[in-house]
Homo-oligomer: A and B are copies of this chain.
Amino acid sequence: MEVSLIGHTPDPELTVAAAARLCYSPDQVNELLDGLTLKKARQLINKLQQMRHFSPFEHASFTFGIAGVSRSLSHQLVRHRIASYSQQSQRYVAFSDLAVVVPPSIASKPEAQEKFSIAMDAIRDAYQSLLELVPAEDARYVLPNASQTNLVMTMNARSLRNFFTLRCCTRAQWEIRELAWRMLDLVQAVAPSLFVDAGPNCWSAVGCQEGTMTCGEPPSRLGR
């Protein structure tokens, strides 16, 4: 898995703080950034978090490049609807090689790894043969969930926070959880105040909301 931050709203913290300031102030729009230092912006954002007033967070958008993830992951990912996706097509792209994601639970057990490899080899053979016989969009029916795919995804900071709540949690599958934590690292580096308390609910003042499905573990970033 490779995850990179391709781009984002310039000065995301200043943008969010300026928008929030507008709500509560008689200031003119062209004065919103006057005297708004990064320090003041972060103090204001901190207050917004305490009040759980997250709508101004939507003005900051982040675009990610995501490579080498499975189609299992991408099928989960695109269920997040307040987001934009461009995904490598299996209809229009015929792959000369089958790159796959191997789950650690499989990679770490020789017996499982062998079963997995045999299936992948059979798939690889069938796919290449089928490409000669039918359109690529039909040949791909033999391709596995493990197939690697690439995406460009854009989400705003509010939608990202919801994404992190759900997908950094131990109840999410390992692969999308790994993606979520990597994305969180990337956005915390460029807009720390917007994501200072982002992550699974157990990390924040809200606390675990998984009810009877809780993992019961003490929250730990290391445990990610």
Does A216 make an interface contact (CB < 8 A)? no
Q: CB distance A22 to B141 under 8 Å? A: no
Q: A68-124: which have CB < 8 Å to B?
A: 70-72, 74-75, 78-79, 81-82, 84-93, 95-96, 100-103, 105-106, 109, 111-112, 115-116, 118-123
Q: CB distance A25 to B119 under 8 Å? A: no
Q: Which residues of B contact A142 (CB under 8 A)?
A: 115-116, 119-120, 144-146
Q: Say whether chain A's binding surface is mostly helix, strand, loop, or mixed.
A: mixed
Q: Which residues of B contact A95 (CB under 8 A)?
A: 26
Q: CB distance A115 to B126 under 8 Å? A: yes
Q: CB distance A79 to B85 under 8 Å? A: yes
Does A42 make an interface contact (CB < 8 A)? no
Taking the nearest CB of chain B, how far is it from the CB of A53, in angstroms? Answer: 9
Does A43 make an interface contact (CB < 8 A)? no
- Given A116-B130, A135-B105, verify A4-B30 contact (CB < 8 Å): yes
Q: Which residues of B contact A138 (CB under 8 A)?
A: 103, 105-106
Q: A44-85: which have CB < 8 Å to B?
A: 47, 50-52, 55-56, 58-59, 61, 63, 65-67, 70-72, 74-75, 78-79, 81-82, 84-85
Count of identical protomers in the assembly: 4
Does A38 make an interface contact (CB < 8 A)? no
Complex Cα–Cα for A212 and B48 (A): 10
Q: How many residues belonging to A are interface residues under a CB distance threshold of 8 Å?
A: 102
- Given A86-B56, A103-B141, A105-B138, verify A66-B152 contact (CB < 8 Å): no
* Minimum CB distance partner of A96 in chain B: B26
Does A34 make an interface contact (CB < 8 A)? no
Taking the nearest CB of chain B, how far is it from the CB of A37, in angstroms? Answer: 17
Taking the nearest CB of chain B, how far is it from the CB of A193, in angstroms? Answer: 16
**12 A-B residue pairs with CB within 8 Å:** A18-B152, A19-B63, A26-B95, A51-B211, A51-B212, A51-B213, A72-B90, A84-B156, A112-B134, A119-B122, A119-B142, A121-B122
